[in-house]
Amino acid sequence: MLDTESLTTDALCRSILKRHRETIAVQKPDFAVRKLNVIITAALKISNRKGFHAMSLRDLAEESGVSMGGLYAYFDSKTTLLRMILGEVSSVVEQVLSDPPPEVAGDPLNHLKWLIATHVRLTEAMLPWFSFAFIEAKNFPPLERRMAVDSEERTEQYFAEVINSGIKNGCFDPDTSPLIAALVKPLLQDWYVKRAKYRRRKVTVEAYIEAVVRLITSACLGSGVVPHRVV
Amino acid sequence: MLDTESLTTDALCRSILKRHRETIAVQKPDFAVRKLNVIITAALKISNRKGFHAMSLRDLAEESGVSMGGLYAYFDSKTTLLRMILGEVSSVVEQVLSDPPPEVAGDPLNHLKWLIATHVRLTEAMLPWFSFAFIEAKNFPPLERRMAVDSEERTEQYFAEVINSGIKNGCFDPDTSPLIAALVKPLLQDWYVKRAKYRRRKVTVEAYIEAVVRLITSACLGSGVVPHRVV
DNA sequence: GTCTAAATCGAGCGAACGCTCGAAAATAGG
DNA sequence: CCTATTTTCGAGCGTTCGCTCGATTTAGAC
Whether B187 sits inside 8 A of A183 (CB atoms) is: yes
DSSP B110-145: HHHHHHHHHHHHHHHHTHHHHHHHHHHHTTS-HHHH
Encode pLDDT of A33-84 as tens digits: 999 999 999 999 999 999 999 999 999 999 999 999 999 999 999 999 999 9
Q: What is the mean pLDDT of residues B52-67?
A: 97
CA gap A177, A220 in Å, rounded: 8
pLDDT of B226 over the 80 cut:
no
Q: What angle do CA A135, A136, A138 make, to 5 degrees?
A: 90
B24 in Cβ contact with B74 (< 8 Å): yes
Of B22, B50, B82, the one marking the end of a domain is B82
Encode pLDDT of B130-161 as tens digits: 999 999 888 778 888 888 899 999 999 999 99
CA gap A80, A57 in Å, rounded: 13
pLDDT of A229 over the 70 cut:
no
Residue A230 lies in a domain: no
Q: What is residue B54's three-state secondary structure?
A: coil
User: For residue B227, what is the nearest residue in chain A, using CA coordinates?
Assistant: A224
pLDDT of res. A84: 97
Pair (B216, B120) in one structural domain: yes
Number of domains in chain B: 2
CATH number of the structural domain spanning residue A216: 1.10.357
Nearest beta carbon to residue B223 from set A198, A207, A224: A224
Contacts of B227 (CB under 8 A, 6+ apart): B173
pLDDT of res. B108: 96
pLDDT of A231 over the 70 cut:
no
Residue A231 lies in a domain: no
pLDDT of B228 over the 70 cut:
no
A121 in Cβ contact with A92 (< 8 Å): no
pLDDT of A140 over the 80 cut:
no
Pair (A46, A158) in one structural domain: no
Pair (B44, B150) in one structural domain: no
When the pLDDT of each residue in chain B is averaged and rounded to a whole number, the result is 93
Pair (B184, B72) in one structural domain: no
Pair (B203, B99) in one structural domain: yes
Strand C within 7 A of A198 CB: no
Residue B209 lies in a domain: yes
Pair (A65, A22) in one structural domain: yes
For residue B137, the enclosing domain spans: 89-220
The rounded radius of gyration (Å) of the Cα atoms in chain A is 20
Neighboring chain B residues of A210 at a CB cutoff of 8 Å = 177
Pair (B65, B153) in one structural domain: no
pLDDT of A227 over the 90 cut:
no
Nucleotides of D under 7 A from a protein CB: 6-12, 16-22, 28
Pair (A169, A58) in one structural domain: no
Q: Give the dihedral sign, CA A121/A124/A126/A132.
A: positive
When the pLDDT of each residue in chain A is averaged and rounded to a whole number, the result is 93
Neighboring chain B residues of A189 at a CB cutoff of 8 Å = 186
Pair (A96, A173) in one structural domain: yes
Encode pLDDT of A53-65 as tens digits: 999 999 999 999 9
Contacts of B117 (CB under 8 A, 6+ apart): B209, B213
User: For residue B188, what is the nearest residue in chain A, using CA coordinates?
Assistant: A186
Residue B226 lies in a domain: no
CA gap A55, B140 in Å, rounded: 12
Neighboring chain B residues of A219 at a CB cutoff of 8 Å = 214-215, 218
3-state secondary structure B149-192: HHHHHHHHHHHHHHHHHHHHHCCCCCCCCCCHHHHHHHHHHHHH
Residue A54 lies in a domain: yes
CATH number of the structural domain spanning residue B171: 1.10.357.10
pLDDT of res. A1: 86
How far A30 CA lies from chain B's nearest CA (Å)?
34
Pair (A170, A94) in one structural domain: yes
B1 in Cβ contact with B120 (< 8 Å): no
Q: What is the mean pLDDT of residues B109-134?
A: 97
How far B89 CA lies from chain A's nearest CA (Å)?
20
pLDDT of res. A147: 86
Residue B231 lies in a domain: no
Of A47, A82, A117, the one marking the end of a domain is A82
3-state secondary structure chain A: CCCCHHHCHHHHHHHHHHHCCCCCCCCCHHHHHHHHHHHHHHHHHHHHHHCCCCCCHHHHHHHHCCCHHHHCCCCCCHHHHHHHHHHHHHHHHHHHHCCCCHHHHCCHHHHHHHHHHHHHHHHHHCHHHHHHHHHHHCCCCHHHHHHHHHHHHHHHHHHHHHHHHHHHHCCCCCCCCCCHHHHHHHHHHHHHHCHHHHHHCCCCHHHHHHHHHHHHHHHHCCCCCCCCCCC
Q: Give the dihedral sign, CA B112/B115/B117/B119.
A: negative
pLDDT of A228 over the 70 cut:
no
Whether B215 sits inside 8 A of A212 (CB atoms) is: no
- Comparing A188-192, A223-227, B137-141, which segment has the lowest mean pLDDT? A223-227
Closest CA to A82 of A151, A148, A126: A148
Strand C: which of residues 77-96 in chain A lie with Cβ below 7 A? 77-79
Neighboring chain A residues of B190 at a CB cutoff of 8 Å = 182-183, 185-186
Pair (B137, B210) in one structural domain: yes
pLDDT of B29 over the 50 cut:
yes
Burial of B191 (0-12, 13-18, 19+ CB in 10 A): buried
Pair (A151, A41) in one structural domain: no
Residue A123 lies in a domain: yes
pLDDT of res. A144: 84
Of B45, B64, B82, the one marking the end of a domain is B82
Q: How many CB atoms lie within 10 A of CB B144?
A: 17
How far A138 CA lies from chain B's nearest CA (Å)?
7
Q: What angle do CA A183, A184, A189 make, to 5 degrees?
A: 105
Closest CA to B175 of B230, B220, B225, B231: B220
pLDDT of res. B223: 63
Residue A175 lies in a domain: yes
Whether A211 sits inside 8 A of B138 (CB atoms) is: no
- Comparing A221-225, B125-129, B191-195, which segment has the lowest mean pLDDT? A221-225
How far A223 CA lies from chain B's nearest CA (Å)?
6
What is the band of A223 on the pLDDT scale with cuts at 50, 70, 90? low
